[in-house]
């Protein structure tokens, strides 16, 4: 059970869009539509941002969107805002009641 692969960092200017990839395998991301994304500010607990690949919890702005193709899931932040600067983690169900997280991506707003 290996960690999902995410880029270490992405950046963009306010108003731009950024996309974070999350690459797994045919045993996790590729076979289950149970990919979730979490936003984490320094010193704080993660917060659910996307679930079931592309669904947003209530209260999460619609500039956050998720998708999946094959073994890779993606989180896109459109209309980037200063408050979006944080770490983002993907997570996938990996079968037999197990879970795997990505290594995390730091989003910087230039």
**Residues engaged in binding other proteins (CB under 8 A):** 1, 3, 32, 34, 36, 38, 44-48, 51-52, 89, 91, 93, 96-104
Residue nearer to other proteins on the CB measure, 17 or 98? 98
Rounded to an integer, what distance in angstroms lies between the CA atom of residue 34 and that of residue 65?
Answer: 15
* Min CB(18)–other proteins separation in Å: 19
- Check if the beta carbon of residue 55 is closer than 8 Å to that of residue 108: no
Residue nearer to other proteins on the CB measure, 32 or 72? 32
* Min CB(66)–other proteins separation in Å: 11
Rounded to an integer, what distance in angstroms lies between the CA atom of residue 28 and that of residue 17?
Answer: 27
* Min CB(45)–other proteins separation in Å: 4
- Check if the beta carbon of residue 67 is closer than 8 Å to that of residue 54: yes
Residue nearer to other proteins on the CB measure, 9 or 16? 9
Residue 34 has φ and ψ, to the nearest 5°, of: -120, 55
* Min CB(38)–other proteins separation in Å: 7
Q: How many CB atoms lie within 10 A of CB 97?
A: 6
């Amino acid at each position: 059970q290996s960690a999902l692969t995410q880029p270490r960092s992405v950046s963009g200017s306010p108003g731009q869009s950024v996309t974070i990839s999350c690459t797994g395998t045919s045993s996790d991301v590729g076979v289950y539509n149970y990919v979730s994304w979490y936003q984490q500010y320094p010193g704080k607990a993660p917060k659910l941002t996307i679930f079931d690949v592309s669904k947003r919890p209530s209260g999460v702005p619609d500039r956050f969107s998720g998708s999946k193709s094959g073994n890779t899931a993606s989180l896109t932040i459109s209309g980037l805002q200063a408050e979006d600067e944080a770490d983002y983690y993907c997570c996938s169900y990996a079968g037999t009641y197990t879970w795997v997280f990505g290594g995390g991506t730091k989003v910087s707003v230039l």
